[in-house]
Structure 1
Amino acid sequence: MRNIFILVRKEFLQIFRNRQLLPFMTVLPVIQVILLTFAANYEIKNLRLGIWDLDQSTSAQQLIHKFTGAKFFQEKALISNQKKADELLMKDEVDLVLVIPKDFEKAIHSSNNPAIQFQINALNNAKAGIVQNYASAITQDFLNEKRGNSTLLASPKIIPITNYWYNPTLNYKTIMLPGIVAEVMTLIIILICALNVVREREIGTIEQLNVTPLKKHEFILGKLIPFWVIGHFIFWAGIALGKIFFNIPMVGSLGLLELFLAIFLFVPLGIGLFISTAVETQQQALFTSFFFIILFILMCGLFTPVETMPDWAQYINQLNPLKYFVEVNRLILLKGSGLKEIYPFIAKMIIYGIGINLLAIWRFKKTN
């Protein structure tokens, strides 16, 4: 234990003396957590609306007012023909052209279903889907109101009442911040762990350590423990920032979250150590780390739901540790899940951590 303590102390001294590494572990996470939480927002407002009214009726004007009164749309242009609509869509000056056909008002007060056309700018397919959902919801709400007030078509109505559990205000910052904190911490831990060991090899100090009485497990623990501690600092600093700046809820047990974090950290540390055994230079370590980190981030479910991925991608994603951390973060902080719900994730991380670290140790034995 004394040898491990001495090596850990030596690692911390190196870290604090490294003027390039220290800001990377302190200032950079703060900036990333704050900026990414503001930027990663899927709520789209101020959509540009083009209006083509062929009916010129009271009902048509009420529908238009319904659109322009919503927080999502702002009136951009009045359109009188298809050529003008095509021109605005081609120039990317409108996101939606609302086409109200002739006899729209008559259709509302008759047994016919009124037809409305949405011409949507689908250059960005994700945005187009949101536009279509907003427009459909506003139109359906308008028709329900009109028919509910009609003496001709008065009939009992089913009025749905929606409750949004775990995020009642649908605040994107609430669901994004726990994932962003997990992503930033994992990125930094993999990078600094991989670069640190390779740097020792480049400057020749690792050969000096190999000839000392240090045993192999003491050397590896001495290398990993400082970054395990740093991982805790980065994560909890990010959670504290989330509470201060965005008031994210903390429904579940922080002790349970700490337990999962303590186990999880051995996975990115093992990945970083394994990368360091497979490369020769810090540049190679940097590129290799980013290769895995980008895959982890894109497939972790932070920006796109895992369930929408193809089956083969979901199978591969079982090897993505960040996927589990993002999910556990949200389960504990937002849903208040307990040990019964988190236990399967803990078991997977224990197996993952043991496996990747044993592989890294085996590789380290062969290359050093």
Structure 2
Amino acid sequence: MRHLLNTLYIFTEDAYLTLDGENVVAKRGDEELGRIPLHTLESIMSFSYSGASPALMGACVDRGIALSFFNTRGKFLAGVQGRSKGNVLLRKAQYAISDNEADSLSIARNSIVGKLFNGRWVLERALRDHSLRIDANAVKRASERMKESLLHARECESADSLRGIEGDAAAEYFGVFDHLILRDKVTFHFEGRVRRPPTDAVNAMLSLFYTVLSRDCASALEGVGLDPYVGLLHVDRPGRQSLALDMMEELRPILVDRFVVTAINNRIVTADSFLVRETGEVRLSDEGRKSLFSFWQERKRETVLHPFLKEKMPRGLVPFVQAQLLARCIRGDLDGYPPFLWK
């Protein structure tokens, strides 16, 4: 079983990353800000505009450490990718499935079923824990409609129909998402998904951590030898990691949405954690981002029971396990792709 290592986050905007022996070193000019042994890391996410040395990039490639660069607003810019892992036969099988609508639909359908199942249980968990503090009737109605969508998705016979079912269910889900937020409704009021740019605090957090999750999924897929750019449901576009977006669908409700709600309700973030730009864009402050990523790392270490493998594992390993299961499905070792179904 793979072990969950640490992720190094660089938030100092003018920090430059270099290699010193077996350590990654963050510097500002001649000042050393800190150093971390490479063997303790599984990924590095830099929100600095200064970048990293070629020597460090090469060391990350050699050691399988995912190195990703974001701008200071959290938009993904680039990632360092090394030699392809796995064998060419696995990727050829992936490409063949991607070109066959029936074969790709059988996997994509299970992934969307997982997304609807998990999203519904996010709502059901809120009903169980906070029924007296939320509009229980509205949340229950949305949950029942998502259940109907889940049943339709299981029988869906075209990718376009599956996208339509998923879109309708997402509208139901986000239509009651604001009810899950229990405190400071002025700062954390949520009316719906706004992506580019986010215009409220909740969307700012959702967009940032969906991006972080997509990078984890891309690294996991590369780690098992799959091509993260060739999708099964998301249409292939130059530069877009469509398979990573496919895989993260089932994980978004449980790894990001519940994380954001918990961070708000447990006061990990407050009104002071956000900045509002003249354009109306809302973004996390430096302190808010540090607090939130610290909480993200804590959540990744929490133990969950995998519903298919029946094994306990850190929450942060779920994308890597799902990538392994997807690879086994594509190779023909499994009859179908088993999504991660959370309860």
TM-score, normalised by the number of residues in structure 2: 0.26
Higher normalized strand content (fraction of residues): 2
Higher normalized helix content (fraction of residues): 1
Q: Relative contact order (C-alpha < 8 Å, sep 6+): which is higher?
A: 1
Give the structure with higher Rg (CA): 1
